[in-house]
């Protein structure tokens, strides 16, 4: 049986005393990629720079706080409810005192919910149409998700179940000598594909809307364009949620559970926590795709 021996260093590079780990680097690159895409969309849609500038901070803190609280409350509630200070601080209380451990647990479902809350606060502040903001973020989200899953792969975490296939990965860091499905890589590649699909759909719809957009600008050179390439309808937001979390539901079948108690959950209802949490997002996405009335932007 052929397998890939996976044993990369967690450290990407060092600059003097500063150590940059792959996981942190992937997070930064993912957020930077999303930043560049959304900034470009804002420029295309003629939304002024002053309204774009605060968006990154809203997204950054919304994702980080949501992902952290999501892990603590959805996967390890008994521990973190007894140690609430460890939810938000990268510290852990040990017999020797407080120790810096970093943020060892981040949940994508919590990060998605935190992002949605942050965008709602951003819209209240900027008065931009909510669906337009959600759609723009949704177009960029898969590239960030791709980078984060690559970070998980570099950390040898969120691993798949054992496999006899030739493309299995042996995660040496975890003390194993047998192959597992590289579930993180599967997710990363799926999200990268979804990113390019979303961009292609946007480019196509933007091209077909060229005559309508030109006529609008001649008649009313306003701040916002009317539903540019479908943005502002909620369609891209629905597409993003439905595609990402549908794939997430099925890829969980190849993953090991993150917490031991999920094994009992699987025996009782047939799915794990990740799958259960994906269902509401899929339903919301389907509603935005097929049931949501196309709101006219004022």
Question: pTM of the entire structure?
Answer: 0.84
pLDDT at 227 over 70: no
Task: Quote the longest CA-to-CA distance of the chain.
Answer: 71
Q: Both tokens of residue 152?
A: 């998980």
The yes-or-no verdict on residue 62 having pLDDT over 50 is yes
Q: What is the mean pLDDT of the chain?
A: 87
What distance in Å separates the CA atoms of residue 9 and residue 11, rounded to the nearest whole number? 5
- 18 vs 102: which has the higher pLDDT: 18
User: What kind and span of H or E run contains 100?
Assistant: strand 97-100
Q: How far out from the chain centre does Cα 241 lie?
A: 10
Q: Model confidence over 145-161: pLDDT tens digits?
A: 999 999 999 999 999 99
Beta carbons of 274 and 255 less than 8 angstroms apart: yes
Residue 239 has pLDDT above 70, yes or no: yes
pLDDT (mean) for 90-99: 74
Q: Which tens digit of pLDDT belongs to each residue from 173-210?
A: 999 989 999 999 999 999 999 999 999 999 888 887 76
Average pLDDT over residues 25-29: 92
Q: At what angle do helices 273-286 and 261-269 cross, to 10 degrees?
A: 60
Q: Which of 75-79, 109-113, 114-118 has the lowest mean pLDDT?
A: 75-79
Contacts of 260 (CB under 8 A, 6+ apart): none
């Amino acid at each position: 049986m052929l397998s890939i021996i996976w044993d990369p260093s967690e450290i990407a590079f060092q600059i003097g005393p500063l150590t940059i780990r792959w996981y942190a680097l992937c997070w930064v690159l993912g957020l930077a990629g999303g930043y560049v895409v959304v900034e470009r969309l804002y420029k295309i849609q003629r939304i002024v720079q002053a309204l774009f500038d605060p968006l990154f901070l809203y997204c950054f803190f919304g994702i980080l706080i949501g992902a952290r609280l999501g892990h603590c409350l959805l996967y390890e509630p008994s521990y973190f409810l007894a140690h609430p200070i460890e939810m938000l601080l990268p510290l852990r209380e040990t017999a020797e005192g407080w120790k810096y451990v970093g943020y060892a647990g981040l949940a994508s479902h919590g990060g998605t919910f935190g992002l949605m809350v942050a965008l709602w606060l951003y819209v209240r502040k900027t008065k931009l149409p909510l669906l337009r903001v959600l759609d723009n973020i949704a177009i960029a989200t898969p590239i960030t998700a791709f980078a984060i899953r690559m970070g998980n792969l570099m950390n040898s975490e969120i691993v798949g179940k054992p496999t006899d296939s030739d493309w299995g990965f042996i995660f040496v860091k975890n003390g194993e000598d047998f192959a597992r499905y590289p579930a993180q890589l599967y997710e990363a590649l799926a999200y990268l594909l979804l990113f390019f699909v979303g961009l292609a759909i946007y480019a196509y719809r933007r091209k077909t809307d060229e005559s309508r957009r030109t006529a609008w600008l001649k008649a009313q050179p306003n701040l916002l364009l009317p539903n540019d390439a479908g943005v502002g309808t909620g369609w891209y937001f629905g597409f993003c949620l439905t595609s990402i979390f549908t794939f997430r539901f099925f890829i969980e079948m190849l993953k090991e559970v993150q917490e031991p108690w999920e094994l009992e959950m699987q025996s009782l209802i047939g799915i794990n926590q990740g799958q259960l949490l994906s269902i509401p997002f899929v339903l919301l996405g389907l509603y935005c795709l097929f049931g949501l009335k196309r709101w006219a932007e004022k």
